[in-house]
Amino acid sequence: MPLAEKILAGDIRAAARLMRDIDDGFESAHDELKSLYPHAGKAYLIGITGPPGAGKSTLVDQITAEYRKRGKRVGIVAIDPTSPFTGGAILGDRIRMNRHADDEGVFIRSLATRGYLGGISRSTGDVALVMDAMGMDVVIIETVGVGQDEVDIVRMAHTTAVVMVPGLGDDIQAIKAGILEIGDVFVVNKADRPDADRTARELGAMLDMNVRKDGDWQPKVLKTEASRGTGIDLLVDEFESHRSYLFGSGAIDRFMAEKCARIFMEILKERLFAEVMMPLRADGRFDCFVDDLVGRRTDPYTLVDTVLAERAAIREE
């Protein structure tokens, strides 16, 4: 039986296996995803992002507990970095959330970035799709610890929460160009720390400077203490307010159009690249190209022109 059928019948191992096939780039995963696609599209995707050590995983653990209390099934995709040197990774987000491991209403998957930039892995969207098709009501995506520019999550999740901590001080100035633009909700975690109010005020002041039209979503700054579970119910209420705004204002239509367009273009790019690249690697021409480039006998623009011209000629025949 194909994995997709088993997944729709509730087989957890099949779901875990398909996620592996997606992550490992197996072509067979495409057919399974085709079968699952019509069954997805119901889950609400929440992105949690912020710098390393801000408490993202602990927050995800608490948000999960809150959604479980509200009777929702929760999928979690937690991403940690891959070593650029060995390709290995330590995926440690589960440490904060493994109390949910044997809850049948929760499915947690850890992913490594595997060289993908942008704060998530290449497989993240499709792994979330599998969880969606499994019938998860909410899928929470926790990015790697981010700095300034890893903002892919905002194009994937319906609601993005940016988690900050007190004590970043002047650093707030430095990060405002990137991260302050992508949050639908801002969280000041570790709010028991002395500087928490100041951090929340500074964030709020910065957000007030954003130009917004009447009826646009106005992000709020909320304070939490994830390790004690303080402020989590209000945070989840805020996620739900943002969801109501998206669907009530029609903003969801533009979001989905942009998201679908981006997913199509990414798959197209990847498949076209593979189609062109595979024969070049197979017959060794790619290695010759590299040699010629290193020896400066030609330039990369000419080589790409040549390859594309050859393809056009083949198609005309």
Q: Binding residues for another protein, per CB under 8 A?
A: 12-13, 16-17, 19-20, 23-27, 82-83, 86-92, 94-96, 98-99, 101-102, 107-110, 112, 114
Question: DSSP assignment, residue 39?
Answer: G
Least distance from C-beta 103 to another protein, angstroms? 9
Q: What number of residues does the chain have?
A: 317
Could you tell me if 49 and 160 are in contact, meaning their C-beta atoms sit under 8 angstroms apart? yes
Q: Which is nearer to another protein, 24 or 181 (CB)?
A: 24
Q: Which is nearer to another protein, 82 or 143 (CB)?
A: 82
Q: Which is nearer to another protein, 17 or 72 (CB)?
A: 17
Q: Which is nearer to another protein, 95 or 309 (CB)?
A: 95
Least distance from C-beta 65 to another protein, angstroms? 15
Q: For residue 298, how many other CB atoms are within 10 A of its CB?
A: 12
Q: Which is nearer to another protein, 138 or 180 (CB)?
A: 138
Least distance from C-beta 242 to another protein, angstroms? 28
Q: Which is nearer to another protein, 79 or 153 (CB)?
A: 79
C-alpha angle 35/160/209, rounded to 5°?
A: 145
Identify the bridge partners of residue 160 per DSSP, sorted by sequence position: 47
Least distance from C-beta 57 to another protein, angstroms? 10
Q: Which is nearer to another protein, 8 or 91 (CB)?
A: 91
CA distance 22 to 19: 5
CA distance 242 to 293: 51
Could you tell me if 131 and 108 are in contact, meaning their C-beta atoms sit under 8 angstroms apart? no
Least distance from C-beta 58 to another protein, angstroms? 12
Q: What is the DSSP string of 198-246?
A: HHHHHHHHHHHTS---TTS---EEEE-BTTTTBTHHHHHHHHHHHHHHH
CA distance 219 to 210: 10
Least distance from C-beta 109 to another protein, angstroms? 6
Q: With CA atoms as reference, report the closest residue to 81 among 124, 119, 127.
A: 119
Least distance from C-beta 78 to another protein, angstroms? 10
